[in-house]
Each structure stands twice: as structure tokens, then as C-alpha cells.
């Protein structure tokens, strides 16, 4: 019975609140292949490989800033309830905080539209950055013809004459 009076008093004098800002973070979970490892070399029970950024961090900085401002606003105008499961906001601050949150929502939507409008350019820029990083890590990508020539140079048949099944061996027998 005492719990109901407490709940009635809380709901008469304030509300429980939380802020949730959802948007695409432009990240993807790393796979062992992303790091040049085979799947059997990475024990997923013991190792978390983290995430890779699909776009540079600064492209989402505006959205992240607005998200952090929304969380800071709520924390500054509320206090933790039930060990931090929720935040309690007194009625005296309700209109002021709601107006500030609505303003942040408008800013977020504006930033989101700007991001979507520029997404094609951001994506192309990120792809170029990834290509440069991959070439720096692995060397330039070889064409199929260059790979075949490299393989031929490694095969013992090249040092001892043409491989018996190669085109050169077939032509020289004719």
C-alpha cells in the first residue's frame, strides 16, 4: 500500500523520462577476413574484433553532438530514479525541458536532411579513402594477367623449360 502512495506522489509531481536518439552510425562489425585472418584463427568466444567505420567520424559529428546535448539536457534537469534505470523530471521543469528537447529534435532533423543530401559525396570520399588504405596495406591490386605472370615466374616449370601442359610446350611439339 505504501508503494502506491509513493507512485501517486511521484506521478503527481513529475514524470519519468529518457532520451533515445536513433540514427545510422556508419559502422560495421569487423570480420577476421577484414584483418587478414582466417575464421579459424579468431576465437569469437574470447576475442571481439570491434568495428570499422564506413564513413569518416566527422561526417556524423553533427548528429552525435545533438545526441549528446539531448542527454546532457535531460541529465541536468532530472535526477536518477531506481538506481539510474530512469530519470525523474519534476513538473516545474517540464515545459522548459520539453521546449528545449523539441528544439534539439528540429536541429537533429535538419542535420539529418543535410547528411542524406550529401550522402553520395560522403560515400564516394570514404570509398576512395578505403582504397588508398588497402593499397597502402596490401600493395597495388594486380590485374589477372599480372597475377598469372607472377605465378608463372614462381612455378618450377619456368626454370626448367615450359610446363608440359602449357601452351608453349604444345606449340614447340608441333
Residue 49 lies in a domain: no
Confidence at 165, pLDDT banded by 50, 70, 90: low
CA–chain centroid gap for 54, Å, is 6
Residue 39 lies in a domain: no
Residue 136 lies in a domain: yes
Residue from 108, 25, 96 nearest 67 by CA? 108
Which residue intervals of the chain are DSSP H helices? Answer: 2-13, 61-76, 94-138, 144-154, 156-159, 167-173
SS3 63: helix
Residue 29 lies in a domain: no
Total domains, the chain: 1
Q: Residue 2 above 60 pLDDT?
A: no
Question: For 44-54, how does the pLDDT look when each residue is reduced to its tens digit (9 = 90+)?
Answer: 777 788 888 99
What φ, ψ does residue 23 adopt, rounded to 5°?
-160, 160
Residue 45 lies in a domain: no
Residue 20 lies in a domain: yes
- Beta-sheet pairing, 86-90 with 27-29: unpaired
Residue from 58, 48, 93, 53 nearest 74 by CA? 93
Residue 128 lies in a domain: yes
With vertex at residue 76, the alpha carbon angle to CA 69 and CA 88, rounded to the nearest 5 degrees, is 115
Stated pTM of the model: 0.68
Sheet harboring 79-81: ordered strands across? 14-17, 86-90, 79-81
What is the rounded distance in angstroms from the CA atom of residue 104 to the CA atom of residue 81? 24
Domain span at residue 103 reads 2-24+56-140
Residue 40 lies in a domain: no
Q: Give CA separation, 36 vs 30, 32, 42, 129, 138, in Å.
A: 11, 6, 11, 19, 10
Percent of all residues in the chain with a pLDDT value above 70, rounded to a whole number: 76
Q: Which of 43-47, 131-135, 161-165 has maximum average pLDDT?
A: 131-135
Amino acid at each position: 500500500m505504501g508503494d502506491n502512495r509513493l507512485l501517486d506522489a511521484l506521478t503527481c509531481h513529475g514524470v519519468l523520462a529518457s532520451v533515445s536518439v536513433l540514427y545510422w552510425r556508419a559502422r560495421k562489425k569487423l570480420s577476421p577476413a577484414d584483418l587478414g585472418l582466417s575464421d579459424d584463427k579468431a576465437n569469437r568466444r574470447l576475442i571481439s574484433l570491434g568495428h570499422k567505420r564506413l564513413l569518416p567520424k566527422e561526417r556524423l559529428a553533427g548528429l552525435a553532438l545533438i545526441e549528446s546535448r539531448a542527454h546532457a539536457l535531460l541529465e541536468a534537469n532530472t535526477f536518477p530514479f531506481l538506481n539510474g534505470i530512469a530519470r525523474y523530471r519534476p513538473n516545474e521543469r517540464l515545459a522548459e525541458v520539453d521546449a528545449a528537447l523539441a528544439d534539439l529534435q528540429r536541429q537533429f532533423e535538419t542535420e539529418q536532411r543535410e547528411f542524406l543530401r550529401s550522402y553520395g559525396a560522403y560515400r564516394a570520399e570514404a570509398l576512395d579513402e578505403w582504397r588508398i588504405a588497402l593499397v597502402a596495406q596490401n600493395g597495388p591490386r594486380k590485374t589477372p594477367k599480372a597475377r598469372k605472370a607472377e605465378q608463372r615466374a614462381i612455378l618450377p616449370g619456368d626454370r626448367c623449360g615450359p610446363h608440359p601442359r602449357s601452351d608453349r610446350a604444345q606449340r614447340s611439339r608441333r
